[in-house]
Structure 1
């Protein structure tokens, strides 16, 4: 998953305004108490950040991939 794909999924799954607020403000214990933005800036893989955000917000697996039902990120490591 690329950074662009991460941003697209945030917008599609959570909506542009809410999704961007989550990326800036949602502290995730699984990311060492960092926000998704901080985790990405620290060099974590977008795929791992995406899975951590979705897991924390209980996003069901089928809804994690936005409008493209063929899109899937590899499982989190």
Structure 2
């Protein structure tokens, strides 16, 4: 998954403003105790991060 696709999906689910806030502030144990931004910086694949966000935040199946 390209980063542009990842951020588009984040914006579609959380809204333009909250998507970045969530990605900066929400620490997930499933990402090794990292935020989305930290996981991306650590080299995690955007698709794996998106799957984690979907699972943790109960993103509806049609948006996954």
Normalised to the residue count of structure 2, the TM-score between the two structures is: 0.91
Structure with the higher helix share, 1 or 2: 2
Q: How does 1:1-77 map to 2 (within 5 A)?
A: 1-64=1-64
Alpha-carbon displacement from aligned partner over 1:34-62 (angstroms, at most 9, x marks no partner): 00100000000000001111111111211
Task: Compute the displacement of 1:29 (Å).
Answer: 0.7
Q: How many residues align?
A: 64
Q: Tell me the C-alpha RMSD between the 2 structures.
A: 0.9
Poorly superposed stretches of 4+, deviation over 3 Å: none
Q: Look up the SS of the partner of 2:58 in the other structure.
A: coil
- SS of the aligned residue for 2:34 comes to coil
Stretches of structure 1 lacking an aligned partner (at least 5 in a row)? 65-77
Using structure 1 for the length normalisation, give the TM-score.
Answer: 0.77
How far the C-alpha of 1:63 sits from its partner, in A, is 2.7
Which of 1 and 2 has greater Rg? 1
For residue 12 of structure 2, give the secondary structure of its aligned residue in structure 1: helix
